[in-house]
Structure formats: C-alpha cells, structure tokens
Homo-oligomer: A and B are copies of this chain.
C-alpha cells in the first residue's frame, strides 16, 4: 500500500477510501483527489451546517457521527438522518440550487473532509461515475426517508421502536456472547426526536421491552438485544 497522503491528518487512512461515492476510482485517482480535500474537526454539540445556509462544499464524514434535523418554531426537533463514516451532506447547493434543508450537529468528535463546490464540479466532469454513485446514494436516502414517513405516519409506537432498534443493530451492533450490543449514536431524547415521540414514552416502552426480556439497557449509551426474533415481530416487519 502506498503512503502518499501528506495532509498530516489522515495518516494513510485517507478519508476518501471510506467514501462509497469514490469507490469506483483507482488508487492513483484517489490520491489526486486527496490533495483537493480540506479537513475540519468538530466537537460534540457543534453545528456543522445550519438549515437555510447556502453551503459551498460537500462535506464527507471521515470519522464520527452527526444528526441532521429540523426545528419547529416552538423548539421541537425532528431528526431526519444520522450520518456516520463515509456519509456525505451539504450537496444540495451543488446538485440543485437549494440551501441546506436541515441543520447538522456533531454527536461526538467528528472528523470531516470537505470538497469545495468548484473542485467538486470539475471532479464530476472528469469522473461521471461519481455522479452516478451520488444519485444512487440519494436514491437510497430517499427510500429510507419514505420508510421513515410511513413509519411515523401509520405504524404504532411499538413498531417504530422495534424498527429503530433493528436499524441500529445493523449499523452499530456488535455480536457478543450475550446478544448483539448496540452502541447507540443517539441519546434517549435523540431517539425520541427521531421517532417523533416524547422522551418519556420511549423510556417507558424500552422499560417494557426490558421486562419482557427482549433487550437490556447497558448504561445510557448501549442496548443489548437479547431476542432478535421477538424484536422483528414487534417491528411488524413481515418480510
């Protein structure tokens, strides 16, 4: 493996290696792109983009996770996405001419890679495959959003909680002898804001699941899944 990234930041662990949208490019091309990228780190709680802001870069997450959300005037928050390693955002102003449709906040220490509008657009001309990858990723994101809308719209709260736990399991779960341990990206409040329910309701429902032996809370930041099948039944997912 070559060791050519001199940015003093990623130390051979080039962020662009992690990014699906660049996955069709070869090593040499990646190195060229690495030179165009600037980096920036954020602490937990820092705002990376504000809703309504006109961004001039596409931002890729190298490490860490963020929440993307909208606020109502009365302060309620609806989380739309949780992005982590390899995900990108801020593309709205590059692809269409929108300002950001959501606010993005770091959930932990986050390392980002930024590509300016200009550089990104010339990349797109040079490597049209990147555009295809982006369309694919946006398509998947739209599909997830459609599922979320259905979830909040017609599924009951138990269904939704089952669903979010299964999603988190796939993305953040790790097998252990006792079951699958999920390192939660969101606090209880965050999860509630994602599901469109009150923090207290989530607490009660999770407590119930714990009593039924389906899950076990491990502190505030992890959940152990003991009975995956029961959880699937709960999520109402027939497939």
Contact = CB atoms under 8 A, between A and B. Distances in A.
Interface string A132-174: 1001101111110111111011110000000000000000000
A131 B78 CA distance: 31
A154 B95 contact: no
Contacts of A154: 72, 76-78, 193, 196
Interface string A180-196: 00000000000001011
Interface string A11-47: 0000000000000000000000000000000000000
A155 B101 contact: no
Contacts of A153: 78, 152, 195-196
B98 A139 contact: yes
Nearest to A95: B135
A70 interface: yes
A24 to B, nearest CB: 14
A195 B154 CA distance: 10
A207 interface: no
A236 interface: yes
A231 B110 CA distance: 42
B146 A70 contact: yes
A102 interface: yes
A149 B78 contact: yes
A211 interface: no
A209 interface: no
A73 interface: yes
Contacts of A97: 136
Contact of A149 (B76, B80, B96): B80
Q: Would you list the 7 A-B pairs with minimal beta carbon distance, nearest first?
A: A153-B196, A96-B139, A96-B136, A76-B154, A78-B153, A78-B150, A70-B150
